Amino acid sequence: MAELTGMREVKQERALRTRALVARAAAEVFAECGFAGASVTKITQRAGLTLGAMYFHFENKEALAREVVRSQPARVSPPRESRGLQRAIDITLTWAHQLLDDPFLLAGARLVMEQCLFIGPEESSHQQWTEAMAQDLALAQSEREVRAGVDVDAVARLIVNASTGAQMHAHLESGRRDLPHQVMEMWNVLLPTIATPSALNRVVIDASRGKSA
């Protein structure tokens, strides 16, 4: 019985590794080619796997693109502990740094204008990021870091929209190297309009907060 359990665990681990390998290869190809330019053949060749191995885990190219998009928020984890308003800032700065070399985030940036081809609006990356940002802002408001009259859902949408626009502009201007600076600039303009005076004196807007040690 123990031997059978061990074999089953080995198979499950192998399957998880294969799924992760296919997903990463898909992210790399989507980042380079976009959704329309990607193909399952390119993806499996990048992964070094057969088409059968890919189809065992993902039904089609659309399913792969959905997997890549859905995985993005979980990949952005600020290197410093924070909560509320500071965490909202730290997430955007961490995203700005990770976007430079994380294939999943790069794919998300490339796929942002093609999501209607493979995912519904309620599951889009914009909606995912907006919901995550709104949660931190709502906590900040409950802890009197954000002014009471501020619509945190509207501010969350504004932050996501501004960050999306910033990465597009930074891509054209600097290959995204100045994206952390653009995110800092966004917060420096926005914070005085939404934050309480005590929070303004406490939060830190510094690109280094988004860098891993």
| List of domains in the chain | 2-70 (1.10.10.60), 72-210 (1.10.357.10)
Calculate mean pLDDT across residues 40-57.
94
* pLDDT averaged over every residue in the chain: 92
**pLDDT at position 7:** 60
- Of the candidates 81, 83, 76, 80, the one whose C-alpha atom is nearest the C-alpha of residue 97 is 76
Contact (Cβ atoms closer than 8 angstroms) between residue 27 and residue 53: no
Half-sphere exposure for 199 (CA within 13 Å, toward CB): 26
Average of per-residue pLDDT across 42-53: 94
- Read off the pLDDT band of 97 (50, 70, 90): very high
Q: What's the pTM?
A: 0.89
Query: Residue 125: what pLDDT?
Result: 86
At 78 the three-state DSSP class reads: coil
Contact 203, 211 (CB under 8 A): no
3-state secondary structure of 130: helix
pLDDT above 60: residue 202:
yes
Closest CA to 19 of 62, 50, 53: 53
Scan for tokens 């740094």, then name that residue: 97
* CB-based burial, 161-182: b 16+ in 10 Å, e otherwise: ebbbebbeebbeeeebebbbeb
Give me the mean pLDDT over the 32-60 stretch: 95
Confidence label for 4 from pLDDT (cuts 50, 70 and 90): low
How many percent of the chain have pLDDT more than 70? 95
Owner of token pair 């995985």: 71
Percent of the chain with pLDDT over 90: 79
pLDDT tens-digit readout, 113-169: 898 888 887 778 889 999 999 999 999 999 999 999 999 999 999 999 999 999 999
